Amino acid sequence: MAPAPSDNPFAIGTLVTGDEFADRADELRLLEDELPSGGRIFLLAYRRYGKSCLICEALRRLEKNTGAIAVYVDLYKASSEREFWELMINQLVAGSREPVKRVVDWLKSLGGTLRPTFSVDQQSGMPTVTLGPVATSAELGRLRERALALPGEIAARGRHPVIVAFDEFQQIHEFDGGRLEKQMRAAFQQHRQVGYVFAGSKPHLLRQMAEDPNAAFYRFGRRLELGPIPAEAWFGYLKPRFGKGRIQVSGDALRRIVELAEGIPYYVMRVCRLLWPRGLRRQTIDISEVDAAFGEIVDEAGEIFAPTWEELTLAQRRTAAALAEGRGHEIFAEAVRKVYELGAPSSVARSLERLRDLGLVGHEGPTTTGARYRIVDPGFVAWVRRQRPRDPIVSGARAPTSAQEQGSQPKRARRRGRL
């Protein structure tokens, strides 16, 4: 029987692991080699490059192959320091399968008004710890101290390594900034047999945390920067998946998928997910369908991009337009500043900084006029380029080269005369 559209093998918006996980062989090897012996890794990547999936796949493998107690803590799930500790304690308790009595004794030792409660979720069977509100800073200090010691205590008791992965670690700044980080470092560096991952989607912030000599985590671990997945690896992954639906995808169409998505996992999977039901109907996929699918994604993403665009100053928009049109390596050049009306180099630098803080722009090389800047989201690149004719501010901008035009603009959008 032919597969149904619901058998779509391209998962999106979930953590993809195991057989569904593509490539990342080198990164997985590094994580699997370093973490069980107490390695510490700073994992940096822009949004949607697949950090969370990589962490979860590495933790899954380490649990399976080394019996490690692997714990994943997503800082976006905590809106206060207390919630952060509650999350970490819960993950450690669940992952370590410590005897209930020991957990309860440990919780009692927290004392104060925290009044922790311990329950077991009926459905998942997972233990759940709930902490009451923190009344004083001394109480928060005690909770912090005890929670920070916990990974080391669990590792010392068992025969298996403990691995703690903090996702979106730059959020730690929101809680208490420098002091908390110093205490974390002081605690973690005493732990034997505990590996740590500090991951973040604002690479410049994480780099600062790990490489600024004044920062608490200065040289505390190795840096692992996650790029796109190379085209060859994608071809090997995508072909058999389309094959499950007996869908013929031409080599050109496959190349187009990876080209438009810039090899970024989220976009590759998103385009393929849209192509799957169409492929089932027609049994083939060609370049024009790939372009149309990407165009639809950009249309949809406009709902997210438009409010962000509204928040930008005109100078920042013009800078984004110049980057979207491939001027990132010469953004400070006089000719480019003139064409795009970007003003003095200092105002370009300010615009770039704001765009970077919003997670829209990244750069290779140091933050100097020599670095190459780029918009890190290919959907945003395509969307910004669509805004151009409607935005009189950049109407004097030079048209992109035909190679750029052909390379990243969906035909559907061109047909509509938007570009």
Ligand X SMILES: Nc1ncnc2c1ncn2[C@@H]1O[C@H](COP(=O)(O)OP(=O)(O)OP(=O)(O)O)[C@@H](O)[C@H]1O
**Among positions 72, 217, 266, 332, the unique one binding ligand X when judged by CB under 6 A:** 266
The yes or no reply on residue 287 touching ligand X (CB under 6 A) is no
**Among positions 7, 37, 47, 364, the unique one binding ligand X when judged by CB under 6 A:** 47
The yes or no reply on residue 53 touching ligand X (CB under 6 A) is yes
Among positions 262-321, residues that touch Mg ion (CB under 5 A) are none
- Residue pair 273/8 in contact (Cβ under 8 Å)? The answer is yes
Position with the least CB separation from ligand X: 50
Rounded CA gap, 412 and 409, in Å? 9
Stretch that binds ligand X, among 7-15, 102-110, 118-126, 319-327 (CB under 6 A): 7-15
**Among positions 51, 191, 318, 374, the unique one binding ligand X when judged by CB under 6 A:** 51
The contact mask relative to Mg ion for 23-52 (x = CB under 5 A, - = no) is -----------------------------x
Rounded CA gap, 279 and 289, in Å? 9
Number of residues that bind ligand X (CB under 6 A): 21
**Among positions 39, 265, 279, 378, the unique one binding ligand X when judged by CB under 6 A:** 265
Burial state string for 46-70 with b = 16 or more CB within 10 A and e = fewer than 16 = bebbbbbbbbbbbbbbbeeeeebbb
Which phi and psi angles does 344 have, rounded to 5°? -70, 155
Which C-beta is closer to Mg ion: that of 74 or that of 330? 74
**Residue 249 to residues 261, 297, 389, 407, Cα–Cα distance (Å):** 16, 20, 34, 19
Which C-beta is closer to ligand X: that of 11 or that of 120? 11
The yes or no reply on residue 22 touching ligand X (CB under 6 A) is yes
Of residues 103, 132, 134, the one with CA closest to residue 120 = 103
Among ligand X, Mg ion, none, partner that 77 touches (CB below 5 to 8 angstroms by kind): none
Tell me the residue type at 25.
A
Of residues 312, 269, 261, 266, the one with CA closest to residue 291 = 261
The yes or no reply on residue 12 touching ligand X (CB under 6 A) is yes
Rounded CA gap, 97 and 118, in Å? 14
**Among positions 8, 9, 24, 376, the unique one binding ligand X when judged by CB under 6 A:** 24
The yes or no reply on residue 78 touching ligand X (CB under 6 A) is no
- Residue pair 359/47 in contact (Cβ under 8 Å)? The answer is yes
The yes or no reply on residue 380 touching ligand X (CB under 6 A) is no
Rounded CA gap, 255 and 240, in Å? 15
Which C-beta is closer to Mg ion: that of 43 or that of 103? 43
The yes or no reply on residue 269 touching ligand X (CB under 6 A) is yes
Rounded CA gap, 396 and 10, in Å? 41
Among Mg ion, ligand X, none, partner that 50 touches (CB below 5 to 8 angstroms by kind): ligand X
Position with the least CB separation from Mg ion: 52
Rounded CA gap, 95 and 105, in Å? 18
* Neighbouring residues of 192: CB distance < 8 A, sequence distance ≥ 6: 38, 152, 155, 156
Report in angstroms how near the CB of residue 35 gets to ligand X at its nearest. 18
Report in angstroms how near the CB of residue 388 gets to Mg ion at its nearest. 31
Of residues 184, 156, 160, 161, the one with CA closest to residue 75 = 184
Report in angstroms how near the CB of residue 261 gets to Mg ion at its nearest. 17
Among Mg ion, ligand X, none, partner that 107 touches (CB below 5 to 8 angstroms by kind): none
Give the H/E segment covering residue 94. helix 81-96
Of residues 30, 32, 381, 22, the one with CA closest to residue 229 = 22
The yes or no reply on residue 170 touching Mg ion (CB under 5 A) is no
Report in angstroms how near the CB of residue 311 gets to Mg ion at its nearest. 23
Among positions 217-256, residues that touch ligand X (CB under 6 A) are none
**Look-up: residue for tokens 């690479």?**
203
Q: Interface residues with Mg ion (CB under 5 A)?
A: 52
Q: Interface residues with ligand X (CB under 6 A)?
A: 11-14, 16, 21-24, 45, 47-53, 201, 265-266, 269
